[in-house]
Amino acid sequence: MESASPSFSVSNLPTTMASDIDQRNGIPTIRFTNIEDLFKAVGQVQGDFLIVQKVPLSDFEELCLREKRPFRIRRYHASEGILIVTIPTELHESLHLDLHRIYDHKLFRNGQARGWKAIGSTTFRPRGHPGGDGGEGDSSGGPKPTRHAIGAWPTLVIEAGDSESLSALQDDMRWWFSASDHDVKIVLLTKFDHQNQRIIIERWEEESQNLQGATNTRRVTSGNTLQPVLRQSIVITRDIPTDSYHVTRGALVLSFRLLFLRDPGPQESDYIISITELQDYARDVWVYV
């Protein structure tokens, strides 16, 4: 029997996904039939984001094993069978790859490239739930040898959004911190805001909220006292007549200690992506707008 072709419509998600409904309203949503039909559907989507309903765990497991697929797995919610996929459009890829490339260049210039492992879009499963939820980042990496083992989580994750809302990206950020049991240390969100013609870059880290009577040296346990904190919010706008780019709130700062899980040694320091570098980054991104 021939499978039905996916049809595109915005439909309600399960009530357990209520936090996503308002933010993702208007995003193409389909009901899963089989993997091949999903691949065909992705080719018809305008944009970089698709919600797929009723995806069995067995099909998700098969998707994870597929080396060639036309999308990345943004998130899979096993209990609801909801699969959220990222479609690598030119704009989406430029948003995260061009930002990560600046960081890569600094690693090479500082002689630290051999001490860093690019993890890319590896599929990760939350700690304690290896057969359940899963997700992939756009760009990610961590230090060697600490995060070089199979299954090790990155310290840095970059997530990009074009049609995905900033609020939905922030949900992704929270997932990375929580699912990794706080092994992820920095999440960068880069969002192209079409309505206001600007790029928004957010740098998120976690901060301990000490319990009553706790000391600053107390080791924080998972979930109890660590909370995501917005450390930087950078906005880049373009002046069309002059093709110039205005960056608000300064350079992007990445903590060496959080990236490499150690204090910086001699000739080592935090990584600074300057205003000029951010302007060059924006110019590269705007080519695909």
Does some domain include residue 207? yes
Task: Point out the domain boundary residue: 35, 57, 86.
Answer: 86
Helix axes 35-42, 57-65, angle to 10 degrees: 60
Shared-domain flag, residues 52 and 66: yes
Domain boundary (86, 121, 145) is at: 86
Say yes or no: 139 and 29 in one domain: no
Residue 214 lies in a domain: yes
CA 197 to each of CA 159, 236, 237, 246, 276: distance values in angstroms, whole numbers, following the listed order: 19, 9, 7, 12, 19
224: in domain: yes
For residue 75 the two structure tokens come to 């998130």
pLDDT for res 65: 86
pLDDT at 274 over 90: yes
Q: Are residues 104 and 166 in the same domain?
A: yes
Q: Which two tokens stand for residue 150?
A: 């199979």
Residue 256: predicted pLDDT = 97
pLDDT(4) > 50: no
**149 lies in the same domain as 229:** yes
d(CA 273, CA 121): 23
- Residue 42's domain comprises 15-86
Tens of pLDDT, residues 221-273: 444 589 999 999 999 999 999 999 999 999 999 999 999 999 999 989 999 99
264: region left, alpha or beta (phi > 0 left; psi from -120 to 50 alpha): beta
Please tell me whether residues 204 and 280 are part of one structural domain: yes
Task: Residue 93: name the closest of 151, 138, 140 by CA.
Answer: 138
Domain count, the chain: 2
Same domain, 150 and 60: no
Do 183 and 225 lie in one domain? The reply is yes
User: Tens digits of per-residue pLDDT, 73-98?
Assistant: 999 988 899 999 999 999 999 999 99
Distance between CA 158 and CA 142 in Å, rounded?
Answer: 12
Query: Is pLDDT above 80 for 13?
Result: no
Domain-embedded: residue 6: no
pLDDT band at 151 (very low <50, low <70, confident <90, very high): confident
Q: In this structure, what token pair is assigned to residue 2?
A: 């021939």
**Backbone region of residue 91 per phi and psi (left: phi > 0; alpha: psi in -120 to 50; beta: other values):** alpha
Neighbours of 103 (CB within 10 A): 20
Same domain, 78 and 102: no
Look at residue 205 and tell me whether its pLDDT is greater than 90.
Answer: yes
Identify which has the larger pLDDT, 218 or 33. Answer: 33
Q: Is the pLDDT of residue 105 over 50?
A: yes
Does a structural domain hold residue 149? Answer: yes
Q: Specify if 3 maps to a domain.
A: no
Statement to judge: residues 252 and 121 lie in one domain: yes
Q: How high is the mean pLDDT of the chain?
A: 85
Instruction: Examine the domain organization and report whether 73 and 101 are in the same domain.
Output: no
Kindly state whether residue 231 falls inside one of the protein's structural domains: yes
pLDDT of residue 23 exceeding 90, the answer is no
Same domain (yes/no): 30, 120: no
- Dump pLDDT digits (tens) for 43-73: 888 889 899 999 999 999 999 888 789 999 9
Residue 1 inside a domain? The answer is no
Q: 264 and 193, same structural domain?
A: yes
pLDDT band at 127 (very low <50, low <70, confident <90, very high): low
Q: Point out the domain boundary residue: 54, 86, 118.
A: 86
* CATH code, domain carrying 243: 3.90.1570
Distance CA 127, CA 156 (A): 17
